[in-house]
């Protein structure tokens, strides 16, 4: 399984090298099986796509800023769990996501970073979770701030 994923990641990263637009590729593997990417109590495909599109754009931008045009990166997200839980007893128009430390955000992904010659510079698997969600938030005005904060922390610590 890891060899298959690594091969897919390498192919994706190399194909990005040929494209002039992007040095970072973010893919979501089996998002229907993700822990929690719903906006409300009705877990619709449309809502999932809104969340995934926003996360993809954010993750791509942050990693691209870190690696610049010197590297090519691919990120394969295998799970997302937004912080908190939706209160199921409210009507759809009044859905509220309650964030408590017992409902931490998490994101799991595999990544690979290549130099422009196709050599692997960094790769690995991450399963990021922060049980201190109530004190560590830095993206107060962003959608899905807790997941984004986890990812930002990882990008800052990434050695390339």
What pLDDT, on a 0 to 100 scale, did the predictor assign at position 39?
78
Averaged pLDDT, 85-105? 74
pLDDT in tens, 16-38: 444 444 699 999 999 999 999 98
Query: Which residues contact residue 128 at a Cβ distance below 8 angstroms, ignoring those fewer than 6 apart?
Result: 106, 107, 108, 150, 151, 153, 154
pTM reported for the whole predicted model: 0.80
Of 9, 10, 52, whose CA–CA distance to 34 is shortest?
A: 52
Of 89, 19, 119, whose CA–CA distance to 60 is shortest?
A: 19
Query: Comparing 10 with 41, which gets the higher pLDDT?
Result: 41
Domain-by-domain residue ranges, the chain? 2-150
How far apart CA 41 and CA 89 sit, in angstroms, is: 9
What pLDDT, on a 0 to 100 scale, did the predictor assign at position 38?
83
How far apart CA 108 and CA 127 sit, in angstroms, is: 4
pLDDT in tens, 112-150: 999 999 999 999 999 999 877 666 666 567 888 889 999
């Amino acid at each position: 399984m890891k060899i298959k994923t690594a091969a897919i990641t390498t192919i994706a990263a190399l194909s990005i090298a040929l494209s002039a637009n992007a040095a970072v590729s973010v893919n979501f593997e089996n998002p229907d099986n993700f822990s929690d990417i719903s906006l409300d109590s009705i877990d619709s495909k449309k809502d999932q796509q809104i969340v995934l599109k926003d996360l993809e754009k954010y993750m791509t931008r942050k990693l691209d800023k870190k690696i610049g045009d010197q590297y090519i990166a691919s990120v394969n997200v295998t799970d997302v769990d937004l912080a908190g839980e939706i209160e199921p007893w409210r009507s759809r128009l009044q859905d509220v996501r309650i964030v408590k430390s017992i409902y931490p955000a998490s994101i799991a992904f595999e990544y690979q970073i290549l130099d422009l010659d196709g050599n692997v510079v960094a790769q690995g698997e991450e399963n990021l979770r922060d049980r201190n969600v109530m004190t560590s938030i830095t993206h107060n005005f962003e959608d899905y701030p807790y997941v984004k904060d986890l990812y930002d922390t990882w990008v800052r610590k990434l050695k390339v």
